[in-house]
């Protein structure tokens, strides 16, 4: 698809693969290719689940800092929104999405991982938001998604200090969902989402929208969103198949319609 970001599709799983050696630094071009790959995965009916993976030793070691040394405030006002929206494109893929993390997932790399539904990480992986050490803060979702995931106190610890966490701590605080040997990370991520490739695609979309959308509103609004999405699924073929299969005591065969 792009020079540094590719979408590969096999057996219902789309892999968004970053390929900018040696550390998959996230420059402006990678940012826009990532946006394009996310939109392609979202719009491809053959893609039922997504794995975000960094080729080589590292997932993504952060932004390309060489782009930050001379950029002006006026320029960053324009660029910051584009960077954040590129990661939003990943977060808004209406399908199950897992990050397969080896090596470093730092700064923008950690923010990219946070935009996914789950994180499978290597035993020797390192995650963190070190932007404070550059005199800045995370600018692509780190202050928001990290706090929602692990709580504000723990998020402030990581963001204020800029320190890295290892796999044991990441698993303990909820930043990682599974920890496996480095050579098994991609396979473990695929295994995590494979079950969803034959699931009810529209119901999975609605469930993700309900959970993610509900986190940004009060309880009453979240319940209203849930009720709306719940009712809408009664117009789908998969609802008919799922309920009928249950009554007939057989496994459902979902079509995603």
3-class state of residue 92 by DSSP: coil
In terms of Cα–Cα distance, which of 213, 138, 205, 149 is closest to 176? 149
Active-site hit among 111, 169, 226, 248: 111
Q: Give CA separation, 231 vs 41, 138, 234, 242, in Å.
A: 26, 38, 6, 15
Question: For this structure, is 131 an active site residue?
Answer: yes
- Residue pair 16/36 in contact by the 8 Å Cβ criterion: no
Euclidean distance between the first and final Cα of the chain, in Å? 28
- Residue pair 255/245 in contact by the 8 Å Cβ criterion: no
With both helix axes pointing from N to C terminus, report the angle between 73-91 and 28-43 in degrees, rounded to the nearest 10. 30
Q: Give CA separation, 111 vs 12, 142, 192, 237, in Å.
A: 25, 5, 21, 36
Question: For this structure, is 248 an active site residue?
Answer: no
Q: How many Å apart are CA 102 and CA 105, to the nearest integer? A: 8
The DSSP call for residue 40 is H
Going by their DSSP bridges, the two strands 5-10 and 49-54 should be labelled as unpaired
Active-site hit among 32, 131, 169, 248: 131
CA angle, 116 as apex, 83 and 167 as ends, to 5°? Answer: 110
- Looking at the annotation, which residues are catalytic? 111, 131
């Amino acid at each position: 698809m792009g020079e540094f970001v590719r979408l590969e599709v096999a057996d219902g799983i789309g892999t968004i693969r970053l390929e900018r050696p040696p550390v998959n630094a996230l420059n402006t071009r990678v940012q826009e290719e990532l946006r394009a790959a996310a939109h392609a995965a979202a719009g491809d009916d053959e893609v039922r689940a997504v794995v975000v993976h960094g080729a080589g030793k590292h997932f993504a070691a952060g932004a390309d800092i060489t782009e930050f040394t001379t950029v002006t405030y006026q320029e960053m006002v324009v660029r910051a929104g584009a960077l954040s929206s590129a990661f939003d494109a990943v977060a808004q893929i209406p399908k199950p999405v897992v990050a397969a993390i080896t090596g470093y997932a730092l700064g923008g790399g950690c923010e990219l991982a946070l935009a996914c539904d789950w994180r499978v990480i290597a035993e020797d992986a390192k995650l963190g938001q070190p932007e404070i050490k550059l005199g800045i803060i995370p600018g692509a979702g780190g202050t928001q998604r990290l706090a929602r995931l692990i709580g504000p106190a723990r998020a402030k610890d990581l963001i204020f200090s800029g320190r890295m966490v290892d796999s044991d701590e990441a698993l303990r605080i909820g930043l990682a969902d599974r920890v496996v040997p480095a050579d098994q990370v991609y396979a473990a991520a695929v295994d995590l989402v494979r079950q969803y490739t034959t699931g009810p695609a529209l119901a999975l979309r609605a469930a993700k929208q309900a959970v993610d959308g509900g986190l940004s509103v009060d309880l009453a609004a979240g319940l209203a969103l849930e009720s709306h999405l719940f009712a809408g699924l009664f117009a789908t073929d998969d609802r008919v198949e799922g309920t009928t299969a249950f009554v007939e005591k057989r496994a459902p065969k979902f079509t995603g319609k």
